[in-house]
Amino acid sequence: MSPATSLPRWADVVLLPALNVALAFLAAGLVVLAIGENPLEATALLLRGALGHAEGLGFTLYYATNFVFTGLAVAVAFHAGLFNIGGEGQAMLGGIGAAAAALALGHLPGAVALPAAILAAALCGAGWAAVPGWLQARRGSHVVITTIMFNFIASALLVYLLVDVLRPEGMMEPSSRGFASGARLPFIHEAVAPLGLALPKTPLNLAFPLALLAALLVWLLIYRSRLGYAIRIVGANPEAARYAGISPAKITVLAMAISGALAGMMAVNEILGVQHRLLLAFTAGYGFVGIAVALMGRGHPAGIVLAALLFGVLYQGGTELAFDKPNISRDMIVVIQGLVVLFAGALEFMLRPALARVLQRRRRG
Amino acid sequence: MEGYLLALGVLDSALRLAVPLTCACLAGLYSERAGVVDIGLEGKMLAAAFASATTALATGSAMAGLAAGLAAALMLALVHGFACISQRGNQIVSGVAINMLAAGLTALLGHVWYNQGGRTPALEGGARFAEIALPLAETLRAVPLLGPFYAEVVSGHPLPVYLALVAVPATWFLLYRTRWGLRIRAVGENPAAVDTAGIAVGRLRYSAVLACGLLCGLGGSYMAVSQAAGFLPNMTAGKGFIALAALIFAKWRPLAALGACLLFGLLDAGAIRLQGVILPGIGSVPVQAIQALPYILTVILLAGFVGRAIPPRASGIPYVKER
């Protein structure tokens, strides 16, 4: 690196990413301005809708749960130098697995049925991601393309299962029958009721603490375990990994499987926690939001939890904002996502030279 | 004869379905042959579809719509070029961003401007491309076999269809018979060698990315102001990704790209007609299986079980001048 572009660590880790995200939101503000609305007013409405009352907060955390899972999924693959765009398909397979287990075991007590259904979600997601991983490791087919293809195949599979196999006789909507009570993950407002706490009814369920636990486990895996070290080495330099006796092929498959398991766990929140049946389009693009979340969180679980919360705020606040300001529809959230991915991802080093010059001048002066 | 006419009908709709795929596929071909991976074909087509529909609606002219569609796709192509070539950013991430931006902005603006859930009002008359009857189509119809083929399949398409079909041999010529094409192919395989020869790598890649934008613009505009009568949110529905599959299928060659797109168009046209039909020996094939077939075939091909698809060597890698 030439001296003009070297930055102190704090600037590289905190300041530059923060500036990039700020730039993305500035651009989003310009979009709001262009459609004739006041960005500051919109932001205030959005924050009030997402955080201003207990019910809104519940919805915010429920959305964030999805994004923690899909964000962690993208990040784990990223650490291994792999770009997993297949979170959407892996979540669909997770939903299929969770639903299969829940439909088969729902009559059993929750202590048996729930862990089985959660495990099924993770395993199906893992399997759906491990195949592209294996194809990359052993056959040299690029994981980006294969995971895109697997998204479409998963979507066709889900439609087929719901329309032709799982739909109960006489029902119009393509969805499975509802799960028995044993396979329903309790809502938070139900779980805290015995403690004498009265929370408003929201879709927030026990998948939220599970997502936080997953973030902790991913941190331990990536930064504190032998496997995580191997994953990071392979991501940084596969050749060096080979010399160190690590098999990049094995790590590629493993990292993709872990990534897919996390994406599949998104179904735990949506299918086992909220819908209690398998239905079409439950992934709703959350798998792609994971890309924005992982980039914004710089691949670190703590950053991902924060970024997931921010996107939870955007989703919940954006929904309420669309009520008050019909011009700012929920599509605005997708625009913001795109801007975050652009500025915090593709253009992440755009501001680096300028920032380095500014900091250098300050140090000299 | 009846069966022949029916087959011609399928072929005709297959051709129409293959046109946006062919445009996007050739678009990806320019970009990837020059070493810039582009998974943002979908987004560029969607932006072009929206821009062309809104402009055609406002001006009542399909040509103005096409021009706006080309301009919108070129803008996004420039964003991709800036991120990937000038800033040496991650090409996949940039493509993802462009897809998201296009999906969000088109739906948002469509909602604000027309208040019909993101769709534009229906285009009528001169705001859509008219079907062009090729000379002698009706006179030659009486000629056995070839006559109906010419009249049904070849003739009677709107302008963008013929533009897309001309783009195929034109791409072949540009890539394999011109100096620019040679340089484009070289810069996708070994940019350092091109640089050593004193040719600007960045400028070449920008030209390829812009060609990619133009073709995406053509495909997207065709969808909104010709195939359909206006814009619908997310109307490209994964066509940009099927085009990527077709590109791999064609092993990054222009003539084979047309073949792959026609095959996928045929599958698409067939899937609509095979719905509920019971095939002898197989039984009723779920329509989803046929819809998923292009993706499954691509994965099998990529895995190298049937043939081998090897991308341009330098694709996906930003070029850094000196180490």
Residue labelled with tokens 């799960």: A179
ipTM above 0.85, yes or no: yes
Cβ A345–B90 below 8 Å, yes or no?
yes
The Cα–Cα gap between A35 and A333 comes to: 15
Note whether residue A136 is domain-resident: yes
Pick from A162-176, A227-241, A339-353 the range whose average pLDDT is largest. A227-241
pLDDT classification of B306: cutoffs 50, 70, 90: low
A196: left (phi over 0), alpha (psi -120 to 50) or beta: left
Say if the Cβ atoms of A329 and B83 lie within 8 Å: no
For residues B16-34, give the mean pLDDT: 96
The answer to whether B116 faces chain A, any CB pair under 8 Å, is no
Q: Do B104 and A335 touch (CB under 8 A)?
A: yes
pLDDT in tens, A245-278: 999 999 999 999 999 999 999 999 999 999 999 9
The string of pLDDT tens digits covering residues B89-122 is 989 889 999 999 999 999 999 999 998 888 899 9
Q: Which helix (H) or strand (E) holds B73?
A: helix B62-81
Give the one of B94, B245, B286 whose C-beta lies nearest to A160's C-beta. B286
Of chain B residues 232-251, which have a CB less than 8 A from chain A? 233, 238, 241, 244-245, 248
- B103 in reach of chain A (CB within 8 A): yes
Confidence (pLDDT) at B104: 94
Averaged pLDDT, B197-201: 93
Do the chains contact at A333 and B104, CB–CB below 8 Å?
yes
pLDDT tens sequence across A69-115: 999 999 999 999 999 999 999 999 999 999 999 999 988 998 899 99
Which residues does chain B have within 8 Å of residue A174's beta carbon, measured at their own beta carbons?
Answer: none
Is any Cβ of chain B less than 8 angstroms from the Cβ of A218? no
Residue A3 lies in a domain: no
For residue B282, the model assigns a pLDDT of 66
Q: What is the rounded CA–CA span in Å between residue A52 and residue A38?
A: 20
Q: Average pLDDT in the A52-63 region? A: 95
pLDDT, greater one: A363 or A216: A216
Q: Would the pLDDT of B1 be above 80?
A: no
| CA atoms within 13 Å, Cβ hemisphere of A160 | 17
Q: Which of A130-139, B63-72, B225-234, B308-317 shows the lowest mean pLDDT across its residues?
A: B308-317
Q: Of the given ranges (A203-207, B62-66, B132-136), which has the lowest mean pLDDT?
A: B132-136
Q: Contact A336/B104, CB-based, under 8 Å?
A: yes
Q: Determine, for residues A164 and B286 on separate chains, whether the beta-carbon distance falls below 8 Å.
A: yes
| B288·A156 Cβ contact <8 A | yes
Which B positions 150-209 lie with beta carbon below 8 A of chain A? none
- CB count in 10 Å sphere of residue A273: 25
User: What's the domain count of chain A?
Assistant: 1
- What's residue A3's pLDDT? 43
Residue A142, burial from CB neighbour count under 10 angstroms (0-12, 13-18, 19+): buried
The pLDDT, as a whole number, for residue A275 is 94
Q: Which residues contact B55 (CB under 8 A, 6 or more apart)?
A: B64, B65, B67, B68, B69
Kindly list the residues from chain A whose CB atom is less than 8 angstroms away from the CB atom of residue B244.
145, 148
Do the domain assignments include residue A337?
Answer: yes
User: Taking residues B22-32, what's their average pLDDT?
Assistant: 97
Residue A267's domain is classified under what CATH number? 1.10.3470
**pLDDT tops 60 at residue B63:** yes
Q: Would you say residue A244 lies in a domain?
A: yes
Interacting residues of B34 by C-beta distance below 8 A, sequence separation 6+: B184, B187, B188, B204, B205, B207, B208, B209
| Inter-chain CB proximity B101 and A338 less than 8 Å | yes
Residue A10 lies in a domain: no
* % pLDDT > 90, chain A: 74
Amino acid at residue number B114: Y
Query: What's residue B323's pLDDT?
Result: 52
Q: What is the mean pLDDT of chain A?
A: 92
- For residues B256-262, average pLDDT: 94
Residues of A in contact with B292 (CB under 8 A): 152-153, 156-157
Both structure tokens of A195: 């403690």
Question: Of B87, B98, B303, which has the smallest distance from its Cβ to A141's Cβ?
Answer: B303
A219 falls within a domain = yes
Q: Which domain range does residue A83 map to?
A: 17-356
Q: Tell me what the mean pLDDT of segment B204-223 comes to.
A: 97
Residue A159, in any domain of the structure: yes
Assess whether pLDDT exceeds 50 at residue A1. no
pLDDT at position A4 over 60: no
- Residue A340 located in a structural domain: yes
Rg, Å, chain A Cα set: 22
Whether B311 and A35 lie within 8 Å, measured CB to CB = no
Q: Which residue has the tokens 């027309």?
A: B114
Average pLDDT, integer, range B216-235: 94
Chain A contact set for B102 (CB, 8 A)? 338
Q: What is the pLDDT of residues A274-331, one digit of tens each?
A: 999 999 989 989 999 999 999 989 899 999 999 999 999 999 999 999 999 988 998 9
Q: Is B83 exposed, middle or buried (0-12, 13-18, 19+ CB in 10 A)?
A: buried
**Interface-testing mutation among A32, A342, A349, A351, with chain B (most B C-beta atoms within 10 A):** A342
Chains A & B: contacts with CB separation below 8 Å: 151
Cβ neighbours of residue B230 closer than 8 Å, sequence gap 6 or more: B53, B57, B119, B120, B121, B122, B123, B224
Calculate mean pLDDT across residues A228-235.
95
